[in-house]
Amino acid sequence: MCGIIGYVGSRSAQPILLDGLRILEYRGYDSAGIFIPGSGVCKAVGPIDELVKVCTDTSTGTSGIAHTRWATHGQPTEANAHPHHDMSETLWLVHNGIIENHQEIKEGLRARGVTFYSDTDTEVLVKLIGTFHQGNLRQAVQAALQVVRGAYGLAVMYERDPNTIVAARLGSPLVLGLGNDGNFVSSDPSALLAHTKDVIYLEDGDIAVLTNDSYEIISQRGAPAKRVSTTVDWSVEQVQKDGYPHFMLKETHEAPEVITNTARGRLLPEAGNVKLGGLEPILDRLSNLRRLHVIGCGSAYYAGLVGKYILEEYADLPVEIDLASEYRYKRTYPEKHSAILAISQSGETADTLASLQKAKQQNLLTLGVVNVVGSAIARETHAGVYNHAGPEIAVASTKAFLSQLTVLALIAVLIGRQRGLSRTDGQDIIRAIGDLPNLLRTTLGLEDQIKEIATRYHTYEHMMFIGRKFHTPIAYEGALKVKEVSYIHAEGYAGGELKHGPIALLDADFPVVALAPYDDVFPKMLANIEEVRARQAPTIVITTADAPEMGTLTSDTLVMPQTHPIVQPIVTTLVLQLLAYHIGVARGHNVDRPRNLAKSVTVE
């Protein structure tokens, strides 16, 4: 949540900061602000375009900090927009996270005569730093952070020392960018790619001091901290729209390339096996697992549900899955020969990270499936697999979700071949994964038909998605996508659950999307479709063949390519992503930036 960018160097800071905010806008777009020493602060409510309108003075300052906000404490107003200042109005701070004890600190500061003008916890933090400031900004930040509880990624400047930015991280992502004409700090490396690909990911507890030609990283207690720089392998073009009207559509159309990148160098067709270098050192432990616990939030959780089905069926491995936001608080029973697998696109999801840390404290083997190299979850796990899906800018996950499903299929083969999956079965799966990019291109060719269906159904206010077996979680994900980008009330259910309650909702104004590929549960899905049609609900059937036995059961049928059951959910999901996208666009919404949502959920 929220996006931070800072720059100190020899170039004009304002265009660098505004361009960076545009890239970070997916992290929040309730309000935005910028501070440049010597030019002051500029704030606006709404997206970055609103900030550009009011920042009419062209500043020549060569340093500054900026912020785009996803509101947690306080409404989206100009007063609550970042940056915030201390009592002297010489210290300015931008912050991503939540200060849990802000009310307690606020009351103490008020007793000392400190006044407040906003409803934010961030203002409390900068006012606290101000009480410690006696000329050394780093020491003031260090002292204040000993007092606060919660999560933060922050950048702070002192107006009278414009050549220095102090940054700190605890629980919220922050990355330094090392450039030839200055240094940067950002919530996400994507905002830095136009200037540098050399980055350093700060770790929890780090405090960094940036100048135009140097940087220093220390712990909260002042001890030097050595961090290794990383070269980001994304390109500037990957975070631009390339002519597409929305990032969501661009990223959906990148599906074939993403699957190619996810599988590249990992398929061993002759052996019917895969090579996952990140898991090779612990392969013996994986083959002897008695249970795997999978955790995730949102779409990552639904990917984990698909993973549960395929790991149990093809790897003969019992799997339990939990929402990470619940796992961290519930009582758990660590078992010998068990492991926990965390799934997160950003690698910074706060609840998932906290659950992972809990598992480590219980001496469980920790594994990760993440997309961002160097992210907190990647560093926290014993072993894992990178998605290599590239940056995902639209808030609603598309290509990252498809990549997660692919990685889970690869893991199922890797573990399965150690636990009894035959070479022939392995070869069938590997062949299907290898063919997947071409099948996805064929699926993208259905877009005009999908758009026509979306046009017919975009005026409804309710939708239901049903599926069975591997496609039950895909029904959940399909409903989530429609909710996210069209604001239609949508629910996902296992087809067999209809008669246990949800069918009471169905009538002529409640369309149902039935996921019915030709598989071993296809006859059961036909029965569910009959139940839906008996209640006069319009029915969209997504299948792999125009089956005559459907007869008049369906209002609309969309035929997608057939493939192996382990990867069929990937093809189906692409159809649902296009359907949700076109419904959202038909309803006039900005599908890249759904209301009330942000991309990386780094607050709890």
User: Which residues are known to be catalytic?
Assistant: 2, 599
Mode of pairing for the β-strands spanning 165-170 and 150-158: antiparallel
State the CB neighbour count (10 A cutoff) for residue 397.
28
Please report where in the chains the tokens 């069209």 appear, as a residue: 486
**Buried-exposed string 32-69: b where 16+ CB fall within 10 A, e elsewhere:** bbbbbbebebbbbbebbeebbeebeeebebbbbbbbbb
Distances (CA, A) of 319 to 12, 294, 575: 54, 7, 28
Angle at 476 between CA 470 and CA 481, to 5 degrees: 125
Q: Which of 32, 126, 114 is nearest to 71 (CA)?
A: 32
Per DSSP, what are the bridge partners of residue 243? none
User: E strands of 126-201, at which residues?
Assistant: 150-158, 165-170, 175-179, 182-186, 198-201
Are the C-beta atoms of residues 191 and 232 closer than 8 Å to each other? no
What six digits make up the tokens of 451? Answer: 């758009």
- Rounded to an integer, what distance in angstroms lies between the CA atom of residue 370 and that of residue 380? 11
Q: What is the DSSP string of 78-106?
A: TTTSSPEE-TTS-EEEEEEEEETTHHHHH
Cβ burial, residue 188 (10 Å; 0-12/13-18/19+): buried
What phi, psi does 451 have (nearest 5°)? -65, -40
Q: Which of 355, 391, 353 is nearest to 372 (CA)?
A: 391
Are the C-beta atoms of residues 511 and 544 closer than 8 Å to each other? no
- Rounded to an integer, what distance in angstroms lies between the CA atom of residue 202 and that of residue 176? 7
Q: What is the CA radius of gyration of the chain?
A: 25
Are the C-beta atoms of residues 191 and 20 closer than 8 Å to each other? yes
Q: Which amino acid is at 572?
A: T
SS3 label, residue 465: strand
Q: Which of 329, 337, 234, 342 is nearest to 290 (CA)?
A: 337
